[in-house]
Structure 1
């Protein structure tokens, strides 16, 4: 299999590249802080460079509580017992498999077609760990470069940000996070640059809808929306320059106006 690196959107110079893959949907996430490296020596908890998960194969945490399985329906799912915590939204692609590539990317393929990718950047030798705390982490050495409650660069339909989930800019300088209090906030480091300020709304989540709108909901009630108009296929980009933009192709439809802040 040819190596395929699915680069995250890199737009520091203003260039825009539409995302190539459907991203993850995480169901249980509490924080975007980088996870702490854990000892993962036991057989079965690591997916090493060049290894793949074929349909029905899995890795499990050392304590046996968590299992990451490549399902026969094409979906890659993390379970705690019988409860699904996270998945790649790739069901419906029977025969798909997952590869921990030697370039550091974790990719779900159907044949040679990529269906989903973690897109942590180019990190040869990185590996995937299913941890005892329920986190799913890609490490380069002891440094966490991707974990299951973050997206890198973009948010595409039908991806959503549950409380505690975030989109990071490819250069990791900016964090666009759905806070547990219901506020959707853009940070540079610890400095807030932009926020929706819907009031205290614990449990609220934000979804990139198929119609191109970015909406924050509490249950079925919309609390905030970008309202860029009807643009199916539009996606959200958290850029290296600090701006958050909704694009249809290369055309900007909505933005936070935080470039250079």
Structure 2
């Protein structure tokens, strides 16, 4: 009987752990670094606590100030339908995880990482940000995503040699709130 209670307790613990957000060291933080991800209502929170960048259960990545949405990825309910001829039925993969990889790509995938539903278009964003007379710096790689106190969420190159200055490579453009 004692063994059964122990096994049941461990089973309950294991199942409850599966329902926790995948956060990879980003829990209650304002920063996401390469190799980290957030999912299932995981979020980045600005250090002053006013802004939340949330990977929602419905697959949408939303930036909030309080209860108001400032920006979203427009991936709510996005899914891929896969036909399995062996089983004779469809399977679905949903937008669930925000990832930052070591190449500076910020994107939303399914849990397995096989299908991409959204990607931060860093090239287009930089073309708009670094407009003439500025020149787009070459070789920028986003390595730090930060939910800032000004209401903006920014992906920065913090490693490039720009006299110690971080260079933005993408942002939600929601600053000044």
TM-score (norm 1): 0.43
Moved over 3 A (4+): 81-89, 229-233
Aligned-partner Cα distance in 2 for 1:180–1:205: 10
Q: Determine the structure 1 residue equivalent to 2:101.
A: 209
1:254 equivalenced with 2:170 (yes/no): yes
The alpha-carbon deviation at position 213 of structure 1 amounts to 1.3
Displacement after TM superposition at 1:238 (Å): 0.4
Q: Deviations over 1:135-182 (max 9, x none)?
A: xxxxxxxxxxxxxx8331100011111121100001110000001111
Aligned to 2:122: 228
Matched, 1:172 2:64: no
- Pick the structure with more helix per residue: 2
What's the CA shift for 1:65?
4.6
Structure 2 residue aligned with 1:140: none
Q: Distance in 2 between matches of 1:198 and 1:179?
A: 10
2:43–2:55 Cα contact (<8 Å) kept: yes
Q: How far is 1:84 from its partner?
A: 6.3
Maintained 8 Å contact 2:75/2:95: no
Gaps of 5+ in 2: 1-7, 79-93, 124-138, 159-165
In 2: Cα distance, 1:186 partner to 1:236 partner: 13
2:157–2:169 CA contact under 8 A, matched in 1: yes
Distance 1:81 1:198, change over 3 A: closer
Residue 175 of structure 2 is aligned to residue 242 of structure 1: no
Q: If each structure's strand is expressed as a fraction of its own residues, which one has the higher value? A: 1
Cα distance change, pair 193–220 in 1 and its aligned pair in 2 (3 A)? same
TM-score by length of 2: 0.62
Q: Does 1:191 align with 2:68?
A: yes
Cα distance change on mapping 1:155 and 1:65 into 2, 3 Å: farther
The farther-off stretch of 167-176 and 209-218 is: 209-218
Distance 2:65 2:153 in 1: 12
Distance 1:176 1:82 in 2: 26
Distance 1:150 1:213 in 2: 20
Deviation at 1:81, TM superposition (A): 4.6
Coordinate RMSD, CA, aligned: 3.0
Bigger Rg over Cα: 2
CA–CA separation in structure 2 for the residues paired with 1:164 and 1:222: 19
